[in-house]
Amino acid sequence: MTARATHPSPSFAPRFARCTGNAGAKRNLLAVAFMMTVLGVAWPHAARAQHAPDRPPHTAASPEFRSARQGSRLGLVEAVQLSRSDQPALEAFESDAVASEEAAVAARTLPDLQVTAGVQDFPINGENAFSPSADNFTMYKIGIMREQIRRSKREAEAARFRAEAFASRKEATAQERRIQRNVMIAWLNAVEAQAKQSLVDRLISDLNVGHQVMEAGIPTGASTPALALQTQAEIALAEGTKAKAVGDEAKARGELARWIGAAAQRPLPDRIPTLEPLLRDARTVNFSTHPEVLLGDARQRAAQRQVDVARADRKRDLSWSLTYGWRPSFGDLVSANVTIPLLINRANRQDCRVAEAAARANAATLRTLDTRRELSGAYEAALAEYRSAEAQLAILTGRAIPSLEASFQAAEARYGAGQGSLELPLTIVRQYVEISIEAIEQQAQRARAAAELTYLAEDVAKCPPPTRRSSLAGSHWRSRRRVPATG
């Protein structure tokens, strides 16, 4: 929307002064003033939207892109691009993946050798007490030992860590997609609030002019104190609406700053753009390539690798040691030992761990299936919101606005003929402002639904830039893509 206030003609005041002795002219003048107020609030906006030319997409060589880089208006495409860098959450997932890869290398390696040293059978009483050489059982020994973990176990553990690294990177991809959606929603909320402020600013300006006209007509009977006070109340309500819109914009910019930093405070476009996602039946959308589903698949594979680890743990690992013993007064000795664990409680230990890992893998599979259903349901809900907003916009722009315009013209003619009052035009003003704000909200709701559809079924980074058509541009705002009928 273009923030432009429409005010009465400069010749309005002299005409009013010349008509002080003509009550009928005063009535016509007041009606004209209110007609200009109504038309100045929103109908010029619709006219500007109908004749606004489509703008080409932003490219690196376009003036729009260069001006945005210089700190002018922040477009939707640029906001999404800015969110693709400097994200600590994404860097954290990458660090987790690197950590898991390092752990996989360590898991494939045999445990380090251990050195043992000591004194064996040292006497502390009797005739050989405290003598390291008098007793033939006493010796100094040194040796090495290691737990010989099976290669299959080490490979299974390494595969689990690699699967966890893969899942961490898929989590980063899914988080990046969520961030892009959040940026789109926050950006649209900020533009919506700004558009409401532009509309209300024009309304307040024109109502102030109307209030002056009302007060000027009280001495001559062309107006009443009640109508003047009612206009004051309308101005106060409009100021309250603007205050809420200002707060909504600040909140949306704060949410946007979470992802793009100081760029969130840059100026925004004056109109809500038209986003055109690929609309189709949810049953024809392939959600298998969605980052959330790919993340679920990765977690499922990591859980399955844990099952392999648990199964490998049911096999025995040997431990061995080799020791050299030195006896100062007797011959030296060499000892070799092998330790074999006895799996005497396998049913309650190793088998239970296998069952635990298998149950967790099954849970991961079920969560992935639930994610697919969740995405499908969310797509149908977003598609319903998109269609609903589109239908409501068609009603508002195709029926409600023309009807109000005709109603105002009839009220103006009746008032000019001395058969009505200014109360009806003031009511029409209020209704038109409400419809205009509702149109902005529905346009924003349609754009948010389009952003959700894009998040669910498309790659946000590969989507074409939004068009600059306004939702109040009659048939121009309608999407060119249609949803096939469902059986």
Count the Cβ atoms, other than its own, within 10 Å of residue 147. Answer: 13
Q: Which of 45-54, 144-153, 222-231, 375-384 has the lowest mean pLDDT?
A: 45-54
What's the rounded mean pLDDT across residues 245-250?
95
What's residue 1's pLDDT?
A: 33
What's the rounded mean pLDDT across residues 25-31?
43
| 111-120 LR contacts (CB < 8 Å, sep 24+) | 111/146, 111/147, 111/149, 112/146, 113/144, 113/145, 113/146, 114/144, 114/145, 114/146, 115/142, 115/143, 115/144, 116/141, 116/142, 116/143, 116/144, 116/145, 116/321, 116/323, 117/141, 117/142, 117/143, 120/325
Q: Answer whether residue 75 shows pLDDT above 90.
A: yes
If pLDDT is split at 50, 70 and 90, which confidence band does 465 have? low
Q: Answer whether residue 90 shows pLDDT above 80.
A: yes
CA angle 212, 209, 5 (to 5 degrees): 170
How many Cα neighbours within 13 Å face the side chain of 430?
14
Task: Round the average pLDDT of the chain to a whole number and report it.
Answer: 80
Give every CB contact of residue 214 below 8 A, 6+ residues apart in sequence. Answer: 30, 223, 227, 228, 231, 422
If pLDDT is split at 50, 70 and 90, which confidence band does 220 have? confident
* Single pTM value for the model: 0.76
Residue matched to tokens 């009013």: 16
What's the rounded mean pLDDT across residues 243-254?
96
Q: Answer whether residue 363 shows pLDDT above 80.
A: yes
Query: If you compute the radius of gyration of the chain from its CA atoms, what whole number of angstroms results?
Result: 39
What's residue 108's pLDDT?
A: 95
If pLDDT is split at 50, 70 and 90, which confidence band does 305 have? very high
Of 293, 307, 429, which Cα lies nearest the Cα of 360?
307
Q: Answer whether residue 123 shows pLDDT above 70.
A: yes
Alpha-carbon gap, residue 395 to 71, rounded angstroms? 38
Q: Which residue has better confidence, 478 or 31?
A: 31
If pLDDT is split at 50, 70 and 90, which confidence band does 442 have? very high
Alpha-carbon gap, residue 447 to 450, rounded angstroms? 5
What's residue 428's pLDDT?
A: 79
Residue matched to tokens 């079920």: 366
What's residue 365's pLDDT?
A: 96
If pLDDT is split at 50, 70 and 90, which confidence band does 464 have? low
What's the rounded mean pLDDT across residues 369-389?
95
Q: Answer whether residue 184 shows pLDDT above 80.
A: yes
What's the rounded mean pLDDT across residues 3-12?
32
Given strand 114-120, what is the order of strands in its sheet? 114-120, 139-148, 318-326, 333-339
What's residue 66's pLDDT?
A: 44
What's residue 459's pLDDT?
A: 62
Instruction: For each of the domains in the chain, give its residue range(s) and CATH number, in order of start.
Output: 12-96+159-299+361-477 (1.20.1600.10)
What's the rounded mean pLDDT across residues 104-123?
94
What's residue 281's pLDDT?
A: 81
If pLDDT is split at 50, 70 and 90, which confidence band does 461 have? low
What's the rounded mean pLDDT across residues 458-462?
60
Paired residues of 142 in beta bridges:
117, 324
What's residue 79's pLDDT?
A: 94
What's residue 422's pLDDT?
A: 66
What's the rounded mean pLDDT across residues 18-43?
42
If pLDDT is split at 50, 70 and 90, which confidence band does 156 have? very high
